[in-house]
Amino acid sequence: MRTDRHAFNLDAAAASALARRPGPDRARIEEVLERTRALGGLTVPEAADLLAVEDPEGRAAVLRAASDAARQTFGRHRLLFVPLYLTNRCANDCLYCGFRRGAGADRKWLDGEEVESELEALARIGHTRLLIVAGEDRHAAGIEEIGLTIEAARRRGFVEAAVNVAPLTVDDFRRLLDTGASRYQSFQETYHPETYVRVHVGGPKADYAFRLGTMDRAVEAGFRSLGMGTLLGLHDYRFDVLSLLSHALHLRERWGEGIAVSVSVPRLRPAEGAALTQAPSPVSDDDLLKIVAVYRLALPWSAISISTRELPAMRERLARAGASHFSAGVSTSPGGYARPHPPMDVTQFEIADHRSLREVARDMAGEGWIPNLCRRCDEEEAGRAAYECQCAPHERGECLVRLRERQWAMDGAAR
């Protein structure tokens, strides 16, 4: 396989030095926050200064600035999506994951009929945005099956079909793009090389360098929308957040402004069958709020996604800190939507928010958000499309978010 000399290459020593910066004084915080008002993003050293803020007053100022930025980019919209797990088979041995090879007995790959049943269940509930997920099982998790899933999802009216599968070669990424995948997502988990090797002990994912080059290969193949993330709790969060920002900036510098990066901020959760159940470097609620706020200020137009790993109250606080995308009504078990609670369930992690899509939407609306399931303002992953729509029914016809709310009210859907 040829080597891409221009792919992202982390300067770990520089990232470590930035991650150890002492907290900035009040004047520096104000100076950096002032710069964010134009929604031009942050440099990595500026982000390092904000991540180093520890005092309550400084943290509150960072959260306020992020909240203001989110209001300008996403307005009151908070977009809802759902992951569809095609398989829980995986060739890797990631110590924190319930899908790792050797853990649990009941492994399966959904067949075509089961995929249709899952999609039908999700469309009936009201979902419009799909994230297709598969573990790394190269024999089974074929690109062809993903293509068939996307086709079936489009037939059922899903407007977005993002894909989270194992890193591929450029040629295989081209095949994946041809399936109609709207976004490619893969998390580095941790950018810290030694920690990475310690927690990825078997399978192709143990290759740190191959994973680090994933996004460059995806863009070379033609993907323009990329989902990135680290598993918070594996290593010092300041190091990992700053490394991810360096990575995102590298992609834009190398490949141009047309690259849309979205960020996920999962915290390590217990999982049945996982060997690592406690985070080696725990991330507190306050730290997670600060992380989301810094991402919002650094990448003001980017989606920031929150999973059901977080409790409902925390998800609401994260929405106020600038998170824009929320999974809802989730099962991490293949087949778990058409057949809730399958026997001998193998799941990727323990879910903390068990609310249905309808309950999430209702609670969000109660907090003043527009829980966005719109089929029209979803075409772009960045916030501008959602913001510009602003659900202005008088200008753009009846908004589908409102139609969905009314449908729920009328049909009294149980979920």
Burial class (CB in 10 A: 0-12, 13-18, 19+), 123: middle
Smaller CB separation from ligand SF4, 94 or 110: 94
Minimum distance from CB of 349 to ligand SF4 (Å)?
9
Neighbours of 29 (CB within 10 A): 22
C-beta of residue 360 within 8 angstroms of C-beta of residue 371 = yes
Nearest to 364 by CA among 71, 78, 124: 78
Distance in angstroms (rounded) separating the CA atoms of residues 386 and 73: 8
Minimum distance from CB of 414 to ligand SF4 (Å)?
31
What b/e readout covers 260-291, taking b as 16+ CB neighbours within 10 angstroms? bbbbbbbbbbebebbebeebebebeeebbbbb
**Token representation of residue 71:** 């209001």
Smaller CB separation from ligand SF4, 49 or 136: 136
Pairing of strands 77-87, 160-164: unpaired
Smaller CB separation from ligand SF4, 217 or 355: 217
C-beta of residue 147 within 8 angstroms of C-beta of residue 180 = yes
Burial class (CB in 10 A: 0-12, 13-18, 19+), 95: middle
Smaller CB separation from ligand SF4, 53 or 166: 166
Minimum distance from CB of 97 to ligand SF4 (Å)?
3
Smaller CB separation from ligand SF4, 83 or 147: 83
Minimum distance from CB of 237 to ligand SF4 (Å)?
19
Minimum distance from CB of 94 to ligand SF4 (Å)?
3
Distance in angstroms (rounded) separating the CA atoms of residues 360 and 32: 34
Minimum distance from CB of 231 to ligand SF4 (Å)?
8
Minimum distance from CB of 133 to ligand SF4 (Å)?
8
Nearest to 129 by CA among 296, 328, 263, 289: 328
Smaller CB separation from ligand SF4, 99 or 326: 99
Minimum distance from CB of 175 to ligand SF4 (Å)?
20
Nearest to 351 by CA among 281, 270, 260, 237: 270
Smaller CB separation from ligand SF4, 90 or 125: 90
Smaller CB separation from ligand SF4, 97 or 121: 97
**Token representation of residue 266:** 């999962």
Smaller CB separation from ligand SF4, 192 or 205: 205
Nearest to 238 by CA among 195, 279, 188, 288: 288
Site for ligand SF4, rule CB under 6 A: 90, 92, 94, 97, 99-100, 135-136, 205
Q: Where are the alpha helices (DSSP H) in 321-376?
A: 357-366
Minimum distance from CB of 87 to ligand SF4 (Å)?
9
Q: Does residue 119 sit in helix, strand or coil?
A: helix
